[in-house]
Amino acid sequence: MQQGPPPPPPGADPQLWSWFTAVDTDRSGQLTVDELQRALVNGDWSPFNIETVRMMVNMFDADNTGTIDFNEFAGLWRYIEDWKRCFQAFDADGSGSIDAKEMHNALRTFGYNLSDRFVSILIQKFDKYGTGTGKGDVTFDNFVQACVNVKTLTDSFRAYDTDGDGWIQINYENFLELVIRQQA
């Protein structure tokens, strides 16, 4: 006899609990990266980039289990909703994706004064359709990943930029440490 989903925890948002239990296909009470990826879609109905999903799980996995429980999921959901509003605000043409001009505007608004050349490289890196198509735009999931990467790398850089002049000098191992910590 198949059981229905367990009742929501006290004080839980019933809609959010319903989504959580629908995504928790193995009924473990924990969401894996794969379960979460199957639940998240972009505006064009494409699944979220698995790297973006991993990054978000790592950010919200407070107990370091490699999965997220309902409380962690609630925090993650708020985070996604905040990013969705942000994405929609910068998608000036309403296309459902962010082009180079919109990305430049978003990054400038976030306090990053980056060159057109760098923004072009960022768009190429996070354009899921690939750099060969000339499309040159970024879907919601990749926009989140790009912005979080810029912030994380900037924070890492600033840890070495002790005088705040925008220049650092580091040895090879310090550079590797900076990059590896960012990727963890």
Question: Tens digits of per-residue pLDDT, 65-81?
Answer: 999 999 999 999 988 89
Measure CA 169 to chain center. Answer: 29
Identify the burial level of 138 via C-beta atoms within 10 angstroms of its C-beta, where 0-12 means exposed, 13-18 middle and 19 or more buried.
Answer: buried
Phi, psi for residue 120 in degrees, rounded to 5 = -65, -40
Residue 133 has pLDDT above 60, yes or no: no
pLDDT of residue 46: 82
Residue 166 has pLDDT above 80, yes or no: yes
Q: Among 131, 67, 142, 9, which residue's Cα sits nearest to residue 17?
A: 9
> Any idea which residue has 């929501």 for tokens?
8
Contact 103, 122 (CB under 8 A): yes
Q: What percent of the chain has pLDDT over 90?
A: 46
CATH topology of domain 14-183: Recoverin; domain 1 (1.10.238)
For 144-150, what is the mean pLDDT? 89
Give the pairing type, strands 98-99 and 137-138: antiparallel
For 125-150, what is the mean pLDDT? 79
pLDDT of residue 2: 52
Number of Cβ within 10 Å of residue 46's Cβ equals 13
Residue 9 has pLDDT above 90, yes or no: no
pTM of this prediction? 0.76
Domain ranges of the chain: 14-183
**Cross-strand pairs, 99:** 137
Torsion of CA 31, 33, 37, 39, to 10 degrees: 0
Residue 45 has pLDDT above 90, yes or no: no
For 42-64, what is the mean pLDDT? 86
Helix (H) or strand (E) holding 51: helix 50-60
Q: Which residue has the higher pLDDT, 135 or 91?
A: 91
For 82-111, what is the mean pLDDT? 92
Tokens of residue 28, six digits? 């473990």
SS3 98: strand
Tokens of residue 74, six digits? 């609630």
